[in-house]
Amino acid sequence: MLQVDHASVFFAAWDGRTVHALDRVSFNIPERGIVVALGSSGCGKSTLLNAIAGFLPLSEGSITLDGRPVSGPGSDRGVVFQKDSLLPWKSVADNVALGLQFAGLGRSERRERALELLRLVGLTDFANATPYELSGGMRQRVGIARALATDPDILLMDEPFGALDSLTREQMQELLISIWARTNKRIFFITHSIEEALFLGTEVLVMSPRPGRVVARFNLDFVHRLAANGDARSITTSREFAELREEIRAILHNADNIRSAA
Ligand SMILES: Nc1ncnc2c1ncn2[C@@H]1O[C@H](COP(=O)(O)OP(=O)(O)OP(=O)(O)O)[C@@H](O)[C@H]1O
């Protein structure tokens, strides 16, 4: 279980002000859970993800993974960013295997594991290609394969599909659901998109603008239904989906208005 307990972050801004980025955020990610943080720009979503990844310390509160405090980056957490950070001079397979080199695996084991992961993300034929030969969606597939290489307990995804066209984005969401169903990974996922949050989350945390706090949470099972029958259209066109979308839209709108009036 990943447990985030009253997590707050204050930054010292360049002009001496204190920026209160995150305010007492608490949630758990149980086995097979996908928690989605949804909110407008600047509400502290990336700050939260970076704290879970161990890239920045909390000012207050705690984060534990299976009872152990998170105090820095570790191979138990795999991170996927919106902008892929593939090394352009290395092949796709070598990019996927990058973390395994640090984990001390031999060359042939690394290659074998990379090929297995490329199969999982549907890129077997591109193992020897270089990143510039790939489309944006394919590059994000490589990013996901790389994040999975060390077999982490949890995938941390910071708007991974935010820069993709809508069709590719839908395909990537479906791919992620199939990977989740096959690997049983826990996922923490950040997005601006209400539809994406509803589609993917077992729990959606709706966040307010700065200081980022959780203003509503929803437990959902659309993703379980998608994993079971794969019929995305019957879900996105359902009345239940539309009503939740409107409810969350209103919450986000109110949270933004409260902030602008403050
Ligand atoms: N290192 C830093 N120093 C000062 N302020 C920061 C720092 N990092 C983030 N902030 C501020 O904290 C707030 C939250 O930023 P964060 O990047 O977490 O938001 P976000 O919800 O991920 O935004 P977006 O969706 O645009 O990526 C913002 O107001 C940002 O300007």
**Residue 126's pLDDT band (boundaries 50, 70, 90)?**
very high
How much distance in Å is there from the Cα of 41 to the middle of ligand 1?
8
Residues in contact with ligand 1 (CB, 6 Å cut-off): 11, 13, 19, 21, 39, 41-47, 210
Q: Helices then strands (H, E): number in the chain?
A: 10, 10
Q: Is the pLDDT of residue 159 over 80?
A: yes
Give dist(CA 162, CA 193) in Å, integer. Answer: 9
* C-alpha of 154 from chain center: 9
Q: Is the pLDDT of residue 230 over 80?
A: no
Could you confirm whether domain 1-60+152-261 is CATH 1.10.357.20?
A: no
**Residue 58's pLDDT band (boundaries 50, 70, 90)?**
very high
pLDDT over 70, % of the chain:
98
Q: Which two tokens stand for residue 179?
A: 């990977």
How much distance in Å is there from the Cα of 197 to the middle of ligand 1?
20
How much distance in Å is there from the Cα of 206 to the middle of ligand 1?
16
The torsion region of residue 122 among left (phi > 0), alpha (psi -120 to 50) and beta comes to left
Q: What is the pLDDT of residue 22?
A: 96
Q: Is the pLDDT of residue 53 over 70?
A: yes
The type of residue at 43 is C
pTM: 0.93
Q: What is the pLDDT of residue 254?
A: 86
Residues composing the chain: 262
Q: So where are the chain's domains?
A: 1-60+152-261, 85-151
Q: What is the pLDDT of residue 224?
A: 92
Give dist(CA 95, CA 100) in Å, integer. Answer: 10
| Least confidently predicted of 82-91, 124-133, 139-148 | 82-91
Closest Cα to atom 7 of ligand 1: 11
Closest Cα to atom 29 of ligand 1: 42
The number of the ligand 1 atom at minimal distance from the alpha carbon of 47 is 18
